[in-house]
Amino acid sequence: MGNPDTLSDFIEFGLETYPSLYNALVLWNHGGGAKSINFDILQSREICQDLTSGDILNNNEVQQGIKAGLAAAASVAAFDVLGMDACLMGTVETAYELRELGSYFTASPAEEWIWGWDYQRLFGNFSVSGSIPLPSAMADMIVTQYKQSTDTESTSLPNTMTAVDLSMMSALKTEIDKLAVLLYGAGESSFEARRDASGYFYDLDPSDTSLYAPYTDLYSFCKGVTGDAAGAASSVLTALDSAVVGCYAESSGIGLDDYYGTADEDALRGLSIFISHGEKTYLSKSHYAYHYWYYDDDVTGSDNITVGSLDFCTSDTDGTVESWRELFEAWYDDYPSDGYTLGKY
């Protein structure tokens, strides 16, 4: 299941064997967003673990598997709905990776509860003669069923689910990159203070989990930006509102702010984003040294596992901060002392 060819073969078979007016693809299993929450810090994979081989699909392999499957079937240019029934996949980076492969994307920024999606609740009311929901309605139905199922059952985990219009992701990235330029001008200490005051999607205990799952709620971060970058942050929020078509954040028995540090009203806006705690060290290296996977080209770690590229992480070598990734490169890349080099900003 960690082989993208398996994914593409499944897509080709499904589209050719069961032609439909609309098409959805849902990936189910453990998930880790742009990077796995696995405490083996070099295992930077994302979803669909094969329990026999241990191989897992990374974001780039998901993208390439879907692209190859659509090309092989040739009958469908893109999926109407792409879903990930797995933890932590509701990130800006994951949605951007899928921007050309579907109309809508549904996933959870926080961890999912153990039961995942309630497919009986989602599909149980469908009938051969009944009306077919539009893709936008189907994406929102996924959010609704998750809310209904988690509200019905007692759970100790916080719950989130988001539906995103993928056609809006390029515009959102443009605004985020503009914000990065102004945040760099405001200085590292100002940025880190805003980060630490924002909601995040990693466990409060242990305290170094930010090394393994460095996800911050994008709305929570931007709404508190002040000074020269305030206008750019407001533009990000406008683009985020345009992208998120449905969202749910609530829990039974424990609040998001108790578990993650993200209040419900922040998570309701729908997407998390990578923010490194690069000023901190782990085993004498910057946290950012372990975030070598946050890159727009294939990278192989010391364990010889290729972690795959992330389209969102654009960068060049002109020495000017022009993108979200280059913000962290400028502040936290300590090469050669950290042992990694991915190209300077």
Q: Where are the domains of the chain?
A: 4-332
Say which DSSP state 132 is in: P
pLDDT at 38: 47
- pLDDT tens series, the chain, 345 aa: 889 999 999 999 999 999 999 999 999 988 888 764 444 444 445 788 888 887 888 889 999 999 999 999 999 999 999 999 998 999 999 999 999 999 999 999 998 888 899 999 888 877 666 778 899 999 999 999 999 888 776 666 788 999 999 999 999 999 999 999 999 999 999 999 999 999 998 876 656 677 777 899 999 999 999 999 999 999 999 999 999 999 999 876 678 888 888 998 899 889 999 999 999 888 888 888 878 788 887 766 555 566 678 999 998 888 899 999 999 999 998 765 655 555 555
* Residues 92, 70 contacting (CB under 8 angstroms): no
- The candidate with the shortest Cα–Cα distance to 180, out of 216, 222, 213, 219, is 222
Across 86-125, the runs of DSSP E, i.e. the strands, are 102-107
* Residues 21, 132 contacting (CB under 8 angstroms): yes
pLDDT at 333: 85
- The candidate with the shortest Cα–Cα distance to 155, out of 124, 90, 111, is 111
Question: How many other CB atoms are there within 10 angstroms of residue 196's CB atom?
Answer: 13
Q: How far apart are CA 110 and CA 105, in angstroms?
A: 15
pLDDT at 184: 96
Q: How far apart are CA 318 and CA 334, in angstroms?
A: 17
Q: Which two tokens stand for residue 38?
A: 């696995």
> Tokens 């969202």 belong to which residue?
247
Q: How far apart are CA 227 and CA 288, in angstroms?
A: 26
Apex 242 CA angle, 77 and 210, nearest 5: 95
